Structure 1
Amino acid sequence: MKPLHFKIPKTSGESVRIQYDEQRHFYENLHFHPELQIMVICESTGTRFIGDSIGSFKAGDIVVLGSNLPHVFRNDKKYYEPDSELKATNISVFVDLAAFENNILSLPEAHALQKLLLNSKRGLRIRGETKRKVAALIQEMRTLNGFEKIIQILIILNLLSHSHEVEMLSSVGFNANLNESDNRKINDVFSYIMNNFSEDIKLTDAANVANMSVNAFCRYFKQHTQKTFSQFLNEIRIGHACRLLIEDKWNIRETAFECGYDNISYFNRQFKDITNLTPTEFVKLHHTRFTNEFSLVESVKG
């Protein structure tokens, strides 16, 4: 597998496209496209890779993906099972920024918008009340046509450019200009980890996937992800643990074993290091948020 230059389908003369997708699982190859994308997850869970950022995603999440930013949203294993009846649905708004470059973006009043678009090249996650407002505006946008969509996207971008509830995801030093060979190796390693993180993965296994020596692989992986292999693997495992605990199907000890940890103390330590919460604190916090998140998802799905 390798990152693909993904072409967004659009009709002639359309600079803003809104698209609703429903499928068994999201597109699973690392890819990029020149359009700005605002993506609302309506249904499904999994792990997102945006630039050099790793995180879990769930229904109700909203992210902004800048122009040519490599990304992939990989669903949990259960979505790939042959008899699965689960669905992965999302609403995305794609914006052809070239259509705005010589007019709106050149205005002195567009300084905040210019900064937002620059930051979007690192990927953005929308939180709090801003997320609720954007979800409502995008839901309304599905009923609009023509220039009404232009006005609506400018309202959304203006809201985001002045919000303090926008979190940048990739590191400052992230470089999207990897060559094809680098991208293919990274994507193969990502896929191997996602398919096997609940097992006893060893550094030598990942190095073999990349067809590299252990020492060379360690340097290579850190250079291209800004993380050690151990950090990366722990983030994948703890992200999955968070989803299991939120679903309330597993107790903490069972969750640790399901995510590849055979030492509960080490699991608790890694969980606290990555989330700043103990597993027990995490469960209590997210149970109190459930009602609000559910209402947001329902409003987005329409």
Structure 2
Amino acid sequence: MCEYHEILDFKGAKARLSYSDNSQLHFPAHWHEEVELFYICEGISHIHVSQTDYCLRPDDLLIIGSKAIHAIDDQQNNRKIMLQFHPSLFNCVLNDPDISKFIYNFYYSTQKYNIDTTPLLTFFEGLKTLDHRIQSPLLVQSKILELTHHLYKNYKDKCSSTHILNNPIIQQVEQFVANNYEAVITLDMIANEVNLSKYYFTRYFKEHKGITFGQYLREYRIKKALNYLIKTDIAVTEIAYTCGFDSIKTFNRIFKHYTSLSPTQYRGVLNR
């Protein structure tokens, strides 16, 4: 991987199916637009997403949301199925508000499930028989749609969030952060930007994004910092302040929460 923002090449398709068979997979912290699903067939896999460590065992399914920072650090051999797809795969069904809400909750956030229903177990057993080297893009896309159907049937009642796509207030907030992440951004500032009270904005943002505004801002700054670490020789201290952190101590602490490495260690791993 040449840069922190990984660009996945599906060769014109919107999805990819692959396998990790009896191997220890190590991949440093990165992010991409695509959603990524890991289903564990055998053994144990360790995956770090944002600030959470997941220990995955057989029949565990981990859905890593679009743009989430994640790393893989397997300590032992395992077998797992990996599905990657761009969220635009579902554009044809997002006009249904219930399905749109469900897609957002499943594919724009990170969640772990233990598969204990027969249709889902049968589905993943079927995936094991596919030869991923000669897979048809249409077949892979159809399998992801089939999986989403099974998840929708089994887990839709657990989706209580009111997340929606293309929310104009959230989009305005995201654009403001993109334009001003280097500077000090307070709750008062951002609430004023969208003409809401600070208290209402705090509840509104958490309700629609699933995380606090502070968490969103920190993660955005970490993504920018990692690009600097990979693409430039700028000193770590300068990167910290350039990306809006108020001290190198704070930067190092937050960076390690998201990547499990210090900034210097991360730069060293990818420059080997």
TM-score under structure 1 normalisation?
0.49
1:172 alignment partner in structure 2:
211
Q: CA deviation at 1:127?
A: 2.4
Q: Does 1:157 align with 2:143?
A: no
SS of corresponding position for 2:104:
helix
2:7 alignment partner in structure 1:
7
1:104 alignment partner in structure 2:
93
1:206 alignment partner in structure 2:
none
Q: CA deviation at 1:62?
A: 1.0
Give, in whole Å, the separation in 2 of the partners of 1:164 and 1:225. Answer: 33
Give, in whole Å, the separation in 2 of the partners of 1:3 and 1:133. Answer: 39
Counterparts of 1:66-145 in structure 2, within 5 Å, are: 66-76=65-75, 79=76, 87-101=77-91, 103-106=92-95, 108=96, 111-130=98-117, 133-141=119-127, 143=130, 145=136
Give, in whole Å, the separation in 1 of the partners of 2:38 and 2:121. Answer: 10
SS of corresponding position for 1:4:
coil
Give, in whole Å, the separation in 1 of the partners of 2:114 and 2:45. Answer: 18
- More deviation, 2-11/44-53: 2-11
Counterparts of 1:1-302 in structure 2, within 5 Å, are: 4-12=4-12, 14-22=13-21, 24-76=23-75, 79=76, 87-101=77-91, 103-106=92-95, 108=96, 111-130=98-117, 133-141=119-127, 143=130, 145=136, 147-164=138-155, 172-173=211-212, 174-175=215-216, 176-179=219-222, 182-183=225-226, 219-220=250-251
CA contact (8 A) 1:122 1:172 kept: no
CA contact (8 A) 1:48 1:73 kept: yes
Q: 1:139 to 1:48 in 2, by over 3 A?
A: same
SS of corresponding position for 2:25:
coil
Gaps of 5+ in 2: 162-208, 230-239, 241-245, 261-272
Give, in whole Å, the separation in 2 of the partners of 1:21 and 1:38. Answer: 13
Q: CA deviation at 1:123?
A: 0.6
Q: 1:134 to 1:113 in 2, by over 3 A?
A: farther
CA contact (8 A) 1:2 1:30 kept: no
CA contact (8 A) 1:116 1:160 kept: no
Q: What is the identity, as a one-letter code, of the residue corresponding to 1:56?
A: C
Q: 1:47 to 1:113 in 2, by over 3 A?
A: same
Give, in whole Å, the separation in 2 of the partners of 1:226 and 1:73. Answer: 14
Q: What is the identity, as a one-letter code, of the residue corresponding to 2:99?
A: A
Q: CA deviation at 1:51?
A: 1.8
CA contact (8 A) 2:31 2:68 kept: yes
Q: 1:22 to 1:185 in 2, by over 3 A?
A: farther
1:194 alignment partner in structure 2:
none
Q: 1:26 to 1:226 in 2, by over 3 A?
A: closer
Q: CA deviation at 1:7?
A: 3.4
Q: CA deviation at 1:50?
A: 0.9
TM-score under structure 2 normalisation?
0.53
Q: 1:6 to 1:70 in 2, by over 3 A?
A: same
Gaps of 5+ in 1: 80-86, 187-210, 233-302
Give, in whole Å, the separation in 2 of the partners of 1:125 and 1:3. Answer: 27
How many matched pairs? Answer: 192
Give, in whole Å, the separation in 1 of the partners of 2:78 and 2:227. Answer: 25
Q: 1:2 to 1:50 in 2, by over 3 A?
A: farther
Q: CA deviation at 1:159?
A: 2.5
Q: CA deviation at 1:91?
A: 0.9
